[in-house]
Amino acid sequence: MLIDLSGRTALVTGSTQGIGRAIAAGLGRSGARVGVNGRRPEAVERAVAELREETGRDGFFAAPGDLAADEGVALLTGALPDLDILVNNLGVFGAAPALEIPDDEWRRYFEVNVLAAVRMIRTYLPGMKERGWGRVMNVASDSAVVIPAEMIHYGMTKTALLAVTRGFAKEAAGSGVTVNSLIAGPTHTGGVEDFVYSLVDPGLPWEEAQRVFMAEHRPQSLLRRLIEPEEIAHMAVYLGSDFATATTGAAVRVDGGYVDAILP
């Protein structure tokens, strides 16, 4: 399947590393112009330079801004008024005892993981509808369905993101714009490596630490390993293309079989 996104402009929020960076790379390799987003301009510029070198494509550009704040949203959208493809990947996560999570932390997780996506959709969906084409993707998680005991505040936000996706898909009905969620399973990123070592013996070599983590903390996985970010990106590129015209309002699983259900 040859996916050509030439002529399309995309934005991937939170894309200086991890899943977001991999999705940005995948969209860029398929020909899209891709805005790379993060809070720190220097980190964004560095990621843009690295992505151009890795992919051999010049279509990556800096789109900095803290999307959990109104000022950051205004900065970004002022510089990038129209989009064809929006990938809401920005998110925070971390382990915390359920009864010790303070109100401010619940609010912070909701602000970053949910409201930032809502702000972006509210900004860009009207233009997509008017032009009759657009792709919106919200990067959710298996934690939306299988709430992890060690980070229920994170799981709550990802469940909310599934509802946001379904609701905005209805708003876009019949317009040529699709709105979908990606249910990403346990994925290998730098942040997840830190998370793994917070739960297993930090003295273990990485391969052994990953094996112990999957066996003890994610035994539902049928893949029996962490997913690589590029594997999530492949699905995002497909959903961003003309091949995915009949997929909307969906929670598309790229979870390594982690969610034990026949339907999402």
Ramachandran quadrant class, 118 (left: phi over 0; alpha: psi -120 to 50; beta: rest)? alpha
- Tell me if residue 109 is catalytic: no
Rounded distance between C-alpha atoms, residue 31 and residue 95, angstroms: 38
**Which ranges of the chain have pLDDT less than 50?**
none
DSSP state string for 86-145? EEE---------GGG--HHHHHHHHIIIIIHHHHHHHHHHHHHHHHT-EEEEEEEEGGGT
- The CB-side HSE value for 63 (13 A sphere, CA atoms) comes to 28
Determine the longest span between alpha carbons in the chain, in angstroms.
55
pTM to 2 decimal places: 0.94
CATH number of 9-187+227-254: 3.40.50.720
* Per-residue model confidence (pLDDT) at position 192: 83
Which of 109, 124, 154, 258 is the catalytic position? 154
Nearest to 47 by CA among 127, 198, 39, 224: 39
Phi first, then psi, for residue 119 (nearest 5°) are -60, -45
* Per-residue model confidence (pLDDT) at position 161: 98
Nearest to 85 by CA among 27, 163, 1, 160: 27
Rounded distance between C-alpha atoms, residue 16 and residue 65, angstroms: 12
